[in-house]
Each structure stands twice: as C-alpha cells, then as structure tokens.
Amino acid sequence: MPQVPPIDVDGFDLERELERRRRQTERRDLEQSRENLAYSYGNRHERFTAPNPALPPNAIANLAAMRPSSVIPLEEFDAGYDSGTWDAPSRNGEGRYRVNLDTGADSLVCACRGFRTHNHCWHTINVARYIAMRRQAVALERRIQELNEDEEVSGQCAG
C-alpha cells in the first residue's frame, strides 16, 4: 500500500483528527450499549448470542440465543456469577432449581424435569442470557478502556 503523507495545513493533521473522531464515536456507541445492557436483558425478545449448531443445545451460546417465555430479574443471578451455581426460582414461585455452569464445555445443566427432557429450560435460558450479558459488559468495558488509553496517549503526544 502506498504511503500517503497526512494532509497538514498549518499544523492541522486531518488524519489524526478523523481518527480521534472515529474513536470518540465508537466510545459513545459502546457507552450507550453498556447502558442499554440491563434493558436488553429485561426484553425477552433480545437475543444475546447467535446460535451455534456445532455446539450442544445446552451451550451458553445456544441457550442465550433463545427467547425465554418471561425474564427472571437479573438480581436473582448476581450472587451466583462467581461460583457458576445458581438457584433459579421456579415459575410458580415455589422452590428453586439448581443451575450449574460447566466451565470446560461452557454449558449449563439444570435440575428441573424440563431440562432433562429438552436439554434446555426456562431457568437455563435465563441464566445463559444473564451470563452472556455479563460477558458483553466485560467486553464493552475493555474496549472503552482501550479507547480511553489511546486518547490519553494521543493527548500526551499533542501536549
């Protein structure tokens, strides 16, 4: 690729300015997405992943691509995130079902009858969407951090 020198009119570096604006726009978009995550989780029509037929039906990627008939409030799942074990509320509110994350296979298993029959259930779909949301939050945060650091570096160069 030929090297084109940046346009520099009276010290104005157009390429750098365009790059700065591009990063600014990306950061704003990412921050917006981050703010929308909890809302997206609350919308049962929102899919957090694309289904992957190469993976088993109970893989997080496939479960989080499904739409639950209703959404379990995300506060129910915060406590289990670090341990990979959740006691998901049952649909009728009586009792709970244990959902376990298999970290190696990145899949979920639930103790309910529906899961044993179908390899997915209301509980695992909800937990998978929650996990996918948390992972998206981490990815967004990482990228925003990168953009912030770039900004600081270029700010230092300019100063």
Task: Rule CB under 5 A: choose which of 59, 72, 121, 133 binds Zn ion.
Answer: 121
Of residues 86 and 115, the one with the C-beta less far from Zn ion: 115
Under rule CB under 5 A, residue 61 binds Zn ion: no
Q: Which is nearer to Zn ion, 69 or 156 (CB)?
A: 69
- Residues 82-111, one symbol each (x = binds Zn ion by CB under 5 A, - = not), give ---------------x------------x-
**Which listed residue (41, 115, 125, 132) binds Zn ion by CB under 5 A?**
115
Length of the chain: 159
Q: Give the contacts of 28 (CB within 8 A, at least 6 positions apart).
A: none
Handedness of CA 48, 61, 80, 134 (dihedral sign): negative
Question: Taking a C-beta distance cutoff of 8 angstroms, is the pair 93, 47 a contact?
Answer: no
The reply to whether 140 sits near Zn ion by the rule CB under 5 A is no
Told to check if 131 binds Zn ion by CB under 5 A, we report no
Phi and psi at residue 108, to the nearest 5°: -120, 150
Which among 28, 60, 65 has a CA at the least distance from the CA of 143? 28
The contact set with Zn ion (CB under 5 A) reads 97, 110, 112, 115, 121, 123
